[in-house]
Amino acid sequence: MTTIRPATPDDVPTILELIKALAEFEKLSHEVVATEDQLRSTLFGERPAAEVLICEVDSKPAGFALFFTNYSTFLAKPGIYLEDLFIKPDMRSHGLGKKMLIELARIALARDCGRLEWSVLDWNTRARKFYEELGAIPMTEWTVHRVTGSALTSLASL
């Protein structure tokens, strides 16, 4: 039986485990510095920065979706940005990713959001095909920019 539910503070160890599994899949394990304490604070503290859905199969964690509210100035509506969607490799091809996206779409509509969006690594052709089959449109005219680490510190000190 598949269950998709909002994460609770008790899920923090599971969330970190799934984040590490995602990083391993993306060959980015060396970049994971998140700790349980940081996740507890940033996801369930006074001002939560994001929300998490946990996907369980027979009461065992199978995946997660981490998302947060963004805003469309053109629509004058909030949106949902899906930061990460991950299903454990041995649980793939059972429709779990689709169920997670359906739940996110329902949340977006219930919150009167104007859009649900996310980024996909260029090399992940399986994910790109999956998303496009569900009606997602690649935004090829947009390029993501990021400022982090010392570049962020430098920019803030200008």
For residue 59, give its domain range.
Answer: 2-156
CB contact at 8 A, 103 and 67: no
Q: Which two tokens stand for residue 36?
A: 């349980």
Which residues make Cβ contacts (< 8 Å) with residue 49, sequence separation at least 6? 42, 43, 68
Put simply, whether the predicted model's pTM sits higher than 0.85 gets the answer yes
The tally of domains found in the chain comes to 1
Tens of pLDDT, residue by residue over 66-121, are 999 999 999 999 999 999 999 999 999 999 999 999 999 999 999 999 999 999 99
Strand order in the sheet with 51-57: 2-6, 51-57, 60-72, 77-87, 116-118
State the maximum Cα–Cα separation within the chain, in Å, rounded to a whole number: 54
Q: Rounded distance, CA 100 to CA 116, Å?
A: 12
CA 127 centroid distance within chain: 13
What is the arithmetic mean of pLDDT over 140-151? 91
Tens of pLDDT, residue by residue over 27-81, are 999 999 999 999 999 999 999 999 999 999 999 999 999 999 999 999 999 999 9
Does 143 have pLDDT greater than 90? no
CATH number of the domain at 23, please. Answer: 3.40.630.30
Which residues make Cβ contacts (< 8 Å) with residue 6, sequence separation at least 6? 51, 52, 53, 54
3-state SS assignment for residue 37: helix
